Amino acid sequence: DVVLTQTPVSLLISLGGQASISCRSSQSLVHSNGNTYLHWYLQKPGQSPQLLIYQVSNRFSGIPDRFSGSGSGTDFTLKISRVEPEDLGVYYCLQRTHNPWTFGGGTKLELK
């Protein structure tokens, strides 16, 4: 199975600051069709995960442009600028290029 390693495990950020989360894959996530199926989710406390970014860099409907994704191959990054209170929670990356789909271990974003 593809292993996704997220770093850091936890992140202390001040309101208005910038956060950066890394997701590294044990295999290339480029599909045979040329697409890269790496997505990012946020799970707020007590809630279900919500989709933020799909296919590396595309913001899902309603997601503010403070969230941005980048990367290629095996290295991917989620950046959150101007952190707001509603951004707090656990962030997960997900790959669906290879079966079975796998998630990263999560990064907890907390206020400093």
Partner 1 sequence: QVQLQQSGAELVKPGSSVKMSCKASGYTFTTYYIYWIKQRPGQGLEWIGRIGPGSGDTNYNEKFKGKATFTVDKSSSTAYMQLSSLTPEDTSVYYCASGAVALDYWGQGVMVTVSS
List residues binding partner 1 (CB under 8 A).
Answer: 37, 39, 41, 48-51, 54-55, 58, 60, 92, 94, 96, 99-106
Could you give the angle at the alpha carbon of 111 between the alpha carbons of 107 and 112, nearest 5°?
A: 110
The least CB distance from residue 42 to partner 1, in Å, is 11
96 φ, ψ (degrees, to nearest 5):
-125, 25
Amino acid type, 109: L
**Toward partner 1, which CB reaches closer, 16 or 46?**
46
The least CB distance from residue 17 to partner 1, in Å, is 25
Cα dihedral 86, 79, 62, 106 sign:
negative
**Toward partner 1, which CB reaches closer, 32 or 99?**
99
Cα dihedral 53, 107, 79, 83 sign:
positive
The least CB distance from residue 74 to partner 1, in Å, is 19
**Toward partner 1, which CB reaches closer, 17 or 98?**
98
Whole-angstrom Cα distance, residue 77 to residue 68? 8
The least CB distance from residue 49 to partner 1, in Å, is 6
**Toward partner 1, which CB reaches closer, 17 or 26?**
26
